[in-house]
Structure 1
Amino acid sequence: MSSTADSARSGAPTHDQNTTATAAELAWSQADHDVYVATSRGEFAGFVTVDDAAHVVHDRHSRRIGSYPNLAAARQALVDATRPPSRGRERLHRRILSRRR
């Protein structure tokens, strides 16, 4: 299948996706016609597989994060999963846990 057909099927842009970086410094490479691999600072960060109409995201330990309707949403899910938690979110989490005790 051509890269244009892959791009149209996945909802991805038709330009070369091998050097696209996200806001979280993820670099994407297309490993196969249905597999996209992400790296962060040269380290493996996760991957997306295309399965019919779904884009399934896995983290760097190959744990499934979720299934998304298009490649852009799948990539964003991996960005969100690799982003360190904010201090505000950490404080909220600690506050919630302290209430449970």
Structure 2
Amino acid sequence: MSSTDTSARSGAPIHDRDPAADTEPAELAWRQADEDVFVATSRGEFAGFVTVDDTAHVVHDRHSRRIGCYPSLAAARQALVDATRPPSRSRERLHRRILSRRR
């Protein structure tokens, strides 16, 4: 089926998806939007931004939620990369174990 085929029920286009695209972390592409704003995209989608305020670099995710404040632009960018990386299975298991102990 090609990406231009349509669904028989809805008439909406059906897009072929690459399953590997969802499992591999995408690299962030950075653009300077203003003198004090840097914007990141991942696979063409908005991923977050960094604002620079005197000595602080404040990172926000794709929903504009604040991730943290960092002393350098490099540290701020890495924080967004870490925040957008899907969790590993071992980390998920650890998280579930911690939550089960709290019950």
Instruction: Note whether the superposition's TM-score is higher than 0.5.
Output: yes
- CA RMSD in angstroms comes to 1.1
Q: Give distance in 1, aligned partners of 2:93 and 2:65.
A: 26
Q: For residue 88 of structure 2, what is the aligned residue in structure 1?
A: 86
In 2, are the aligned partners of 1:57 and 1:74 still within 8 Å (CA)? Answer: yes
- 2:44 is the counterpart of 1:42: yes
In structure 2, stretches of 5+ residues that fail to align are 1-24
Larger Rg: 2
Q: Secondary structure at the match of 2:77?
A: helix
Tell me the percent identity: 90
Letter matched to residue 45 of structure 1: A
Deviation at 1:54, TM superposition (A): 0.4
Q: TM-score, structure 2 length as denominator?
A: 0.74
Q: For residue 31 of structure 1, what is the aligned residue in structure 2?
A: 33
Which has the higher relative contact order, 1 or 2, with Cα contacts under 8 A spaced 6 or more apart?
1
In structure 1, stretches of 5+ residues that fail to align are 1-22
Q: Secondary structure at the match of 2:87?
A: coil
Q: Give distance in 2, aligned partners of 1:64 and 1:37.
A: 14
